Every structure is written in structure tokens, then in C-alpha cells.
Amino acid sequence: MALSESEFGILKEWRGHIQPVLMGSFVFLCCLEAWLWVRNHTWKKNKLPGPFAWPIVGNAMQLGQMPHITFANLAKRYGSVYQIKLGSTYIVVLNGDSLIRKALLKHSVEFAGRPNFVSFQSVSGGTSITFRSYSTQWKAHRKIAQATIHAFSNANSKTKKSFEKHIADEAEELVESFIRKSSSHQYFNPSHELTVAAANIICALCFGKRYGHEDQEFRMLLGNVNRFSEVVGAGSLVDVMPWLQSFPNPMRTAFQSFKELNRDFFTFVKEKVMEHRQSYDPEVTRDMSDAFIGVIDQADKETGLTEAHTEGAVSDLIGAGLDTVSTALNWMLLLLVKYPSIQRKLQEQIDKVVGRERLPSVEDKADLAVLEAFIYETMRFTSFIPVTIPHSTTSDVSIEGLNIPKDTVVFINQWSVNHDPEKWLDPHIFNPWRFLDENGALDKDLSNSVMIFSIGRRRCIGDQIAKVEVFVILAILIHQLAFEKDSSQELTLDCSYGLTLKPFDYKISAKPRGSVLNSP
């Protein structure tokens, strides 16, 4: 319907006014944000140093593609403890080996909290050990889970042997898969096969079941893991810019996907644990689900723990074990082909210790110092979990003469620990030999200085399990196969930032070394 002349005039006049109104509103919001920034920085006693934060976005635009590098560079200017602002949230960033160990060990309780982020509330139905806030109930939940994992995997348990067999079986499957791919395609990217192997091991550990690669349920699990990595950043943005949920935008859409993936994953875990409850026998511990059911389901009522906390512990173990192990192995294969002389040294030691008539096992670890050194140097050099899950302070705390109020969000820059020049000689050079003493043995003090699973009260509860997985799989791969790079491809150590630092796609070939698995 056409507008009358008077209506058209009103519309024209309205359009003439709306632009100044919008511009005035924007200027007002910027001024308000600037005033709040000045007030917070001027009135706060013992204010923390840090870069200027822009209105609305804070320092978000300054972090770049690799925030951990930016954090380390800012520490050179503002010191090991400083403050940034992301969206509407002030955040304290901790850097450097000495400072972070002081915070997480000497002030372990004060830095043991978790922020009240909306994304954290979407994980495991609120029963996650990893993402829940520090409390008496949380302490009971974590203590029971840690003790259960230790009992399940200690040196004298039958379940330990079962777990190690699951790892060895999956490693053998990897060897055969790599040989098939090399024969048909010559060069291939190992990333997918490593993810499948890690997923199968953690499913066998938690549910006593290995899935076929074509299993529909398993493919859905892997698909959700890949999608989760793609949308996890949306959770982070919405946490510090909650107003993104108030109007249609790509971040709100991605955050909805983030919540749906968490819900689907937790539903999958609950169904598996429920199946275990129906066939549970207290005399037989088949896997970690049984182990958790046996202790958390039966925990004292005073702890406040319920059956849902069993499912939360299983979810944590799966979530922590899958991406961490596959990413670590992905980096290790890349470094093996980038440094073939190191690969040969590893093969020589494994052949000398293990021989060609059997496969390596975890019992060989004490005699494979070069392999251990390679693993620790890969974790240190890549720091593939560069920043821990955000902490928060449980009370006011003073560190380095600076006061940090209760409920402050805290970022722990693990990358800065592993590249601290005061701790490591030439930290930007890949050198496994740094972990060996004059007798060729592993330097335990130095290897314990590598920070990849955090430390203190928020240390990853599955770190020892992950280390066993990585050691056994890598030892078998190196024992069985010789890896070569694609000569037409220039290898790079550049990576993408996300849940973990992942190397860019690369291709390798894997040739059998004429040993146990492929002998006639």
C-alpha cells in the first residue's frame, strides 16, 4: 500500500532523527563504560596492573589467535600477576613457573574455585568434578573419585592388567590401520585414527566395551566430539559477554549448540551407567563405571552425593581422556617425522630393551628413559593445554603483594610455565635430552616440572591414566613402524587454538619394521 504525502514526510523526518539517536545512545554507552572503568581502576585499593580495556569488549580484541602467547608477552610489561577485562568480566592472569606454583600449591584453597559461568552449568548436568565450584560436597566427590581411579589402576589390581590390555589392543589396531593406509594411499593424516583409538580406550575403560568403527552410536559420539571442539569458543564468549544471549547473533546460536552437545553427551553417559547399575555385581568390577557405582552410589548421606555424581565422574573421565590423549599422540607423530634422528634413537633403545619377539608394555617404562624424555619434552614444548579451565578465588588472597578479591576469575597460563626461561634452557627449542641426567636416566625433578594437567586441588583426576595410554601406544607404534613425512609437504609446528592446541594437518607414511605383529 502506497504512503500518503503526509505519511511519507513523517517517515522521512523519523529517519532523519533515528541516526542521531542511535549514535547518541552508542556514545552514552561508551561513556558509561569508560566511567565504570575509571571508577573501578581509580577507587580500587591496591589495584592490579594491566593493559587499558576498551569499552564493551574490554581486551578481547587484543588477545589475538594465540592468547597464551599474548598473556606471556603482557607479563613482560605488567609482571607475573596482572588484570585484563573480557566483555564485562575482570580477569586476573597468572604467569611463570614460580608464581603459578606458589598460587596453586601454597594458596591452593584460595585458587580452587570455578567461576559461575553459564557454560559450566551446562556440563554433566551440574555434577561435574571438573567444572563445579569448590565446596565440601565437591571435596568429597573428588576425593572418592581419585581414590577409585587409583584403586582401579594401581600396580596390584586385576583391573590394571585389563586396562593395559585394552590399550595394547587398540595400539595394535592402529598399527594395522596405518599399514593399510600407507599401502593404499602412501601418505595419510593420522588424526582421525588417533581420535578413534583414544575414544575406544576410554570407552573400554569406562564401559568395558570397544566399539567397531562403523558402529552408529560410536560414530555419533565422535561426531559430537568434533562439533564440540568447533563450538566450545562460543561458551567462553557468552560467559564474559552474557548480553550475547539477549538477541539473535552467531554466538548465541553456537552457544545453543554447545548446550545441546553437552546434553546429548551426558544422556549417552547416563544410559551407559544405568545399564551397568542393572547388571551390577559388587563382587566383580568390570570397568570404571562399576568402580564409581560401588563407591559413589554407596557414599555416606552426609557427603550429599547421589547417583548423578557417579555419572558426573564418568563424564569427566571420558571428557578429559579423549581429546588430551589423541592430541598428545598427534603432536608426537608429527615430531617423530620432523626429527628422524630422534625417531631412530627411540627405535634403538626400544629394540635394545624390548627386543623383536614381544611388544613393549608399561613395565618397560623404567628402562625406556629416552622415550619418557621424548614424551615429556613434547608436552613441555607444545604445551597443548596452554591455559587451564578458568579458576576463581574462594576468598580474598594476596600474592606478590597484590590483593585479589574473592570470586575473581583467574586464568592460569600453563604455556608460560613450560616456556619460562628461568626454568628451562632454550625453552623454544625441542630437545628431549634436557630430561636425561649424566647417566642417561630420566630426571624426575625436571619431568615433574612440566605442567600440562595443572597442579594443586584442580589437578586433572585422570592424568596418570592418560600418561599410561600415551606411553604404551607410542612405544608400540615406534616398535612396530617407521614413520616418514611426505616430502612434498613442508612440515610446520604451527597450530590451531581451541580446547587444545592441535597441529595443522600433516601427512605421513608408516612402514612395518618386520616385528611381532607382521611376522609370518
In degrees and rounded to multiples of 5, residue 339 shows phi and psi of: -120, 75
Do 319 and 221 contact (CB within 8 A), yes or no? no
Residues in the chain: 520
Closest Cα partner for 164 from 152, 177, 148? 152
Residues 6 or more apart whose Cβ sits within 8 Å of residue 178: 188, 190, 193, 477, 481, 510
Show the cell assigned to 242. 552474557
* Chain center to CA of 254: 20
Known binder of ligand: residue 30? no
Spatial distance between the Cα atoms of 107 and 109, rounded to a whole number of angstroms = 6
Give SS3 for 519.
coil
* Cβ neighbour number for residue 391 with a 10 Å cutoff: 26
Spatial distance between the Cα atoms of 251 and 483, rounded to a whole number of angstroms = 41
Q: Is 62 left (phi over 0), alpha (psi -120 to 50) or beta?
A: alpha
Spatial distance between the Cα atoms of 111 and 190, rounded to a whole number of angstroms = 38
Show the cell assigned to 276. 551397568
Show the cell assigned to 362. 608399561
* Cβ neighbour number for residue 13 with a 10 Å cutoff: 10
Do 278 and 257 contact (CB within 8 A), yes or no? no
Round to the nearest angstrom and report the end-to-end CA distance of the chain: 85
Annotated binding-site ranges: 460
Annotated binding-site ranges for heme: 460
